[in-house]
């Protein structure tokens, strides 16, 4: 049964006060309540107009904006803004065409118009940054064709769940036999775009080691025993060390070592390793963990790239390195809610379905994977407004 509009408005008022008081998660709550309000008020014809006309046109216009540096021109113009003629001259776009596109961007709340000038917003300024520009390219050129191909792919496959890394919706959309990551390597512009997309995906959100998320002091630093092993944290599959860098910045007073692990080619690509506050080591997480008895082993968005069987193998390769009652395994992953799934979580689940033929997991799913690997599920830590959680596990007694 639909939620009464009056109830939604009351919750919006309460969330607005929480936002003014800078309560954690209040901004995200307001956005979600805004969606609730639209869902309660929108009639089917308006839903079709928004979903199948306005939003696809918006994504196309954002790609257009990248091509002509539209958001950068508006940002550089400051509060003065630019007239149609001025913006047309800077972008090289026909003025009438530009006006029509800009009107839609105004209607979609991306930019504004006043005093005869098109003007920037905080959102358009953010989208002008390089990592968001390349994220738009990636989403428009790589992910959108895959989603558009869902109906035809599923119909052809008789609506069965895809299970192959090389024969899924992504391959059908892009005409390739390659798995997603090898395809990215074979198409370097998209590889660069994907790297920027991943940096943009988590931007502005709390990290797992930040205050009020996972209690690093209580669960890792307290009880840390250098005599057992001088390594405090091993970041397994940690890329070029984004988490390691921020973790060491946040907890610079700790004496334990932080070690980054990833594939040899990834580690080799890191510049000025000697100047970094952490060590790095080439390691394949499908082989036994070489660092024994560290306080914690962190895997950030690793297992969601793999099916249950492969995920269990990754965890099993950690087991011999764990010290009972001391070492912790920290999985920084989305935990899907069955009753109240969030847009951020289900969007990522659709990304995994489209490009990897795998899934995001519920709490029950995570417990099953952890226990099948011979580990003990301890607790899930959440942070308001952040899609990912920290799932803590340890060696079973």
> How many helical (H) and strand (E) elements, i.e. helices and strands, does the chain have?
20, 10
Q: Which two tokens stand for residue 106?
A: 């105004």
Point out which residues pair with 393 in neighbouring strands.
329, 377
Q: Which two tokens stand for residue 230?
A: 């001088």
Q: E-strand spans in the chain?
A: 112-114, 117-119, 231-236, 257-262, 279-282, 296-300, 328-336, 361-362, 375-381, 388-395
CA–CA dist 125, 312 (Å, integer): 43
Q: Say which of 174, 190, 304, 355 is annotated catalytic.
A: 304
Residue ranges of alpha helices (H) inside the chain are 5-20, 26-41, 44-48, 55-68, 70-77, 84-91, 95-107, 122-127, 130-138, 144-148, 150-156, 169-174, 180-186, 188-201, 216, 242-250, 264-268, 308-316, 343-355, 363-372
SS3 361: strand
Active site residue 304: yes
CA–CA dist 169, 158 (Å, integer): 13
Q: Computed over its alpha carbons, how large is the radius of gyration of the chain? A: 24
- Catalytic positions, please? 304
């Amino acid at each position: 049964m639909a939620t009464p509009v009056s109830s939604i408005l009351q919750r919006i008022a309460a969330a607005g006060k929480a936002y003014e008081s800078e309560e954690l998660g209040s901004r995200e709550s307001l956005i979600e309540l805004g969606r609730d309000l639209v869902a309660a008020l929108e009639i089917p014809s308006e839903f079709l107009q928004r979903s199948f006309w306005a939003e696809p046109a918006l994504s196309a216009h954002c790609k257009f904006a990248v091509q002509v540096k539209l958001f950068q021109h508006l940002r550089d113009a400051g509060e003065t803004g630019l007239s149609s003629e001025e913006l047309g001259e800077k972008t090289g776009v026909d003025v009438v065409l530009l006006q029509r596109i800009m009107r839609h961007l105004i209607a979609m709340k991306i930019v504004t118009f006043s005093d005869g000038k098109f003007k920037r917003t905080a959102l358009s300024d953010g989208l002008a940054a390089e990592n968001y520009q390349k994220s738009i390219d990636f989403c428009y050129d790589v992910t959108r064709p895959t989603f558009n191909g869902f109906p035809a792919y599923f119909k052809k496959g008789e609506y069965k769940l895809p299970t192959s890394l090389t024969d899924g919706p992504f391959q059908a959309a892009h005409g390739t036999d390659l798995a997603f990551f090898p395809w990215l390597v074979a198409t370097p512009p998209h590889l660069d775009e994907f790297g920027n997309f991943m940096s943009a995906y988590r931007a502005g959100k709390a990290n797992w080691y930040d205050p009020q998320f996972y209690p690093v002091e209580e669960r890792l630093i307290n009880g840390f025993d250098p005599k057992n092993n001088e390594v405090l944290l091993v970041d397994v599959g940690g890329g070029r060390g984004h988490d390691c860098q921020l973790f060491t910045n946040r907890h610079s007073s700790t004496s334990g070592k932080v070690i980054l692990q990833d594939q040899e080619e990834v580690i080799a690509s890191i510049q000025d390793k000697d100047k970094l506050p952490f060590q790095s080591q080439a390691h394949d997480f499908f082989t036994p963990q070489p660092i024994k008895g560290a306080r914690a082993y962190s895997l950030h968005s690793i297992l969601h790239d793999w099916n249950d069987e492969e995920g269990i193998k990754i965890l099993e390769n950690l087991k011999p390195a764990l010290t009972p009652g001391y070492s912790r395994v920290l999985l920084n992953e989305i935990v899907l809610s069955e009753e109240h799934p969030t847009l951020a979580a289900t969007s990522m689940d659709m990304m995994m379905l489209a490009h990897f033929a795998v899934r995001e997991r519920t709490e029950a799913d995570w417990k099953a994977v952890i226990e099948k690997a011979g580990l003990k599920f301890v607790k899930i830590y959440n942070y308001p407004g952040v899609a990912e959680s920290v799932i803590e596990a340890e060696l079973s007694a």
